[in-house]
Structure 1
Amino acid sequence: MISIDLTGKVALITGATGDLGRVMVRTLAKAGADVVIHYNQNAAKAEELQAEVEDMGRRAIIVQADVTNGESIYAMKDAVTEQLGAVDIVVANAVIQYQWTSILEQSVEDYASQFESCVMQSVYLSKAFAPAMIERKRGRFIGINTECAMQNFATQSAYVAGKRGMDGLYRVLAREIGEHGITVNQVAPGWTISDRDRQNNTERSEGYESKVPLKRRGTDQEIANVVAFLASDLSSYITGAYIPVSGGNVMPTI
């Protein structure tokens, strides 16, 4: 029987209190991982998640950090190492939210925020956590990208620019640290159903669903399942990949 077993692994999820992050926390913990619950502002949700993980019999710690600030991430690394030991799995999920509009109307600050939270977050996480992985000859970096990076639709420019920059960084990182047994991959969700949709009864969107080959929106759990796969030994020979989880809405070509 094949199963995903993360027993003995320590996983860090940035943006862990967000719509997708919280499901990743639960899923990796169910697979056996101890979890670092990163948050920026939502301390209450972080505490709820910590209690859930501990109820599963796993260790969990809460760490507040600004992912756009290197010193803040390095301080997070020190706190995590002291309390749980070296991190085996890094999931870069946090991103700054903003109001989308046209390039001519989008503020330059929004472009900067996406670069900082998509590209520089991943740079800082790499610098903070890759050295210990290199020393141990194992590790996983998983970046949460987006189907938008392939769509390039109107009003997506700042988000797409940040995520495409992240894509380039992750592909280079995969080449640079692969020789040490570390994989670097990206999960690219489509427009995903989360708790917010369930609470507001907004799960359905006929216009969007009609364009998706599977004729439905994906769920937060389906995103977390792919993250768990990439975090596990089952994905040991996959690196440098951009994997859409979008029901076929975007399809990378060869």
Structure 2
Amino acid sequence: MSGRSVLVVGGSRGIGLEVARQMAEEGDRVAITYRSGEPPFGLFAVRCDVTVPDDVERAFAAVEAEQGPADVVIINAGVTRDCLLLRMAEEDWAATLETNLTGAYRCAKRAVRAMLRARRGGRLVFISSAVAMVGEAGQSNYAASKAGLIGFARSLAREYGGKGITSNVVAPGLTETDMTAVLGKERLDHIIAQVPLRRIAQPREIASAVRFVASDDAAYITGAVIPVDGGVAMGH
């Protein structure tokens, strides 16, 4: 088998799917996880709900059986449950943190265990958000979960850098995906007006940054937060 073994957690659509496709085009052996619906054609796909520990274990085991232990793990699974704080149910808070942050913990823990056993280093890439740095009204739960990823990833960079495992964060701004498709034109225009480049990102632009930080060219980059946000969070 040629190419690295790559797993994109949450790779069935949007940014995750574009990352998976770009890395497959580079010659990597790419697997994805998906939670619902039908998986995209042409990629090895495993159903996985990151809020269920047994699902995470089964997904990693299936990928290892298909293409060997993952050399690169991109953790992209995420949800939003937007609401102003005083209207936010505790369930909305807990569900967002459980998927976006605790789910990342489960996946990273399982990934590092296999990387250490393989003794050839590895790449962890966490998909955060510009909202983690600047905040957003109605997204306190989402912002908290995505900010948590930064501290988590940097801690792993310190813990496992000596073993050749890098741990980095890519922080996209507003990106054209299914998530943004539900925004009304007025809301979208308001957000775009705050972006110095005056447009939203395309998934391929985020994926290119992920592909770089997972590459050999980025072997000396760890604990970094790489913004791909049109300048919206500059200075943070």
Q: Normalized against structure 2, the TM-score is what?
A: 0.91
Is 2:174–2:180's contact at 8 Å kept on the other side of the alignment? no
Is 1:37–1:50's contact at 8 Å kept on the other side of the alignment? no
> Is residue 2:133 matched to residue 1:157?
no
C-alpha separation in 2, matches of 1:197 and 1:132: 35
Instruction: Report the counterpart of residue 28 of structure 1 in structure 2.
Output: 23
C-alpha separation in 2, matches of 1:73 and 1:223: 25
C-alpha separation in 1, matches of 2:55 and 2:228: 31
Q: CA deviation at 1:235?
A: 0.7
Is 2:80–2:142's contact at 8 Å kept on the other side of the alignment? no
| Amino acid across the alignment from 1:108 | E
C-alpha separation in 2, matches of 1:240 and 1:175: 8
Matches within 5 A, 1:87-102: 87-98=70-81, 100-102=82-84
Q: Deviations over 1:46-96 (max 9, x none)?
A: 1xx342xxxxxxxx4210111112221011111111111110111111112
Is 1:115–1:165's contact at 8 Å kept on the other side of the alignment? no
- Which of 81, 105, 111 aligns to 1:123? It is 105
Instruction: Report the counterpart of residue 55 of structure 2 in structure 1.
Output: 72
Q: Normalized against structure 1, the TM-score is what?
A: 0.85
Aligned-residue CA RMSD (Å): 2.2
Instruction: Report the counterpart of residue 9 of structure 1 in structure 2.
Output: 4
Q: CA deviation at 1:218?
A: 1.2
Aligned-residue sequence identity (percent) comes to 36
- Which of 174, 178, 185 aligns to 1:191? It is 174
> Is residue 2:234 matched to residue 1:243?
no
Residue 196 and residue 148 in structure 1: after superposition, are their counterparts in 2 closer, same or farther (change >3 A)? Answer: closer
Q: CA deviation at 1:243?
A: 1.2
Structure 2: any 5+ residue segments left out of the alignment? none
C-alpha separation in 1, matches of 2:161 and 2:61: 24
Residue 201 and residue 119 in structure 1: after superposition, are their counterparts in 2 closer, same or farther (change >3 A)? Answer: closer
| Amino acid across the alignment from 1:29 | A
Moved over 6 A (4+): 195-198
Instruction: Report the counterpart of residue 226 of structure 1 in structure 2.
Output: 209
- Give secondary structure in 2 for the equivalent of 1:38: strand
C-alpha separation in 1, matches of 2:13 and 2:31: 14
Q: CA deviation at 1:176?
A: 0.3
- Give secondary structure in 2 for the equivalent of 1:224: helix
| Amino acid across the alignment from 1:24 | V
- Which of 19, 27, 44 aligns to 1:61? It is 44
Residue 27 and residue 150 in structure 1: after superposition, are their counterparts in 2 closer, same or farther (change >3 A)? Answer: same
Residue 160 and residue 50 in structure 1: after superposition, are their counterparts in 2 closer, same or farther (change >3 A)? Answer: same
- Give secondary structure in 1 for the equivalent of 2:87: coil
| Amino acid across the alignment from 2:30 | V
